[in-house]
Structure 1
Amino acid sequence: MALQWMILTYVVAAEAAIAFLLTLPSPKALKSTLVSLISLILQPSMFIVPFAGFQLLDIYWKNEHRLMCSGETCTAAERDRYEKSIFKAQRNVILCFSACLLYWCIYRVCKYHKEIQSMEEVEKRYKEE
């Protein structure tokens, strides 16, 4: 299970770095090259959305079937372990949502950039006429 969360963590870190690179001001040629490269990578990296969804379902299932430790019969160690598992689940939910949100943001930035390029080409053609 820990390997899945490590993969998701690395993917989120990579998506954050890509989003940062896309939003940095840069020369037009460099920006268009970067956007075209990232656009090629976007379709194969779509696997992250169902992967994160599956992880969310796993967290939900484990939360529904988790033993509650809220009475006086629990020891301090059991209560600490229970609270730690709740915090881990919350962290992992945030990780899953951020993976999907960052993917969507990268997709939209690339799409907006391509739309702006096509509008600039249309404007250039109209000016030439």
Structure 2
Amino acid sequence: MALQWLILEYVVATEAAITLLLTLPWPKPIKLQVVTLTSNLLQPLASVIPFAVFNLLDLQWKNEHRLMCSSDLCTEEERIRYEKSIYKAQRNVILCVSVCLLYWCLQRICKYNKQIKELEEVEKRAKDL
């Protein structure tokens, strides 16, 4: 169970690092190489999105079927365990949402860089005429 969250944590860290690399002001040849490499990685990385959505649905189902511990009949230990599970679930929801959001950001940044490259080529051809 913890392995899936560890995988998502690593994916979020990797996506954040790649996003940071893409937004740094590199020289044009290096930036084009980074954008090309990232664009090639986006296709296999897309498999993380259904994984994150599945985990979100799993969290929702567990939330609906979780035993409530809000009455005075619960012991202090049960209440602490209940609150810990709530905090973990909230953390995992943030993790799943950030995987999807960072993937979208990576995709948009790559698309914008490709559009800029195409516009620069069009401008260069227009100047040559």
* Same fold (TM > 0.5): yes
Please give the residue correspondences for 1:102-113 in structure 2 after superposition, counting only pairs within 5 Å. Answer: 102-113=102-113
Cross-structure match for 1:48: 48
Where do 4+ consecutive residues of structure 1 move more than 2 Å? none
Please give the residue correspondences for 1:1-129 in structure 2 after superposition, counting only pairs within 5 Å. Answer: 1-129=1-129
Alignment TM-score, normalising by the size of structure 1: 0.99
List runs of 5+ in structure 2 lacking aligned partners. none
Residue deviations 1:61-80 (CA, integer Å, cap 9, x gap):
00000000011110000000
Following the alignment from structure 2 to structure 1, what is the Cα–Cα distance between the partners of residues 123 and 24?
Answer: 25
Alignment TM-score, normalising by the size of structure 2: 0.99
Following the alignment from structure 2 to structure 1, what is the Cα–Cα distance between the partners of residues 36 and 72?
Answer: 60
List runs of 5+ in structure 1 lacking aligned partners. none
Percent sequence identity over aligned pairs: 66
State the number of aligned residues: 129
Following the alignment from structure 2 to structure 1, what is the Cα–Cα distance between the partners of residues 21 and 64?
Answer: 40
Partner amino acid, structure 2, of 1:43 = Q
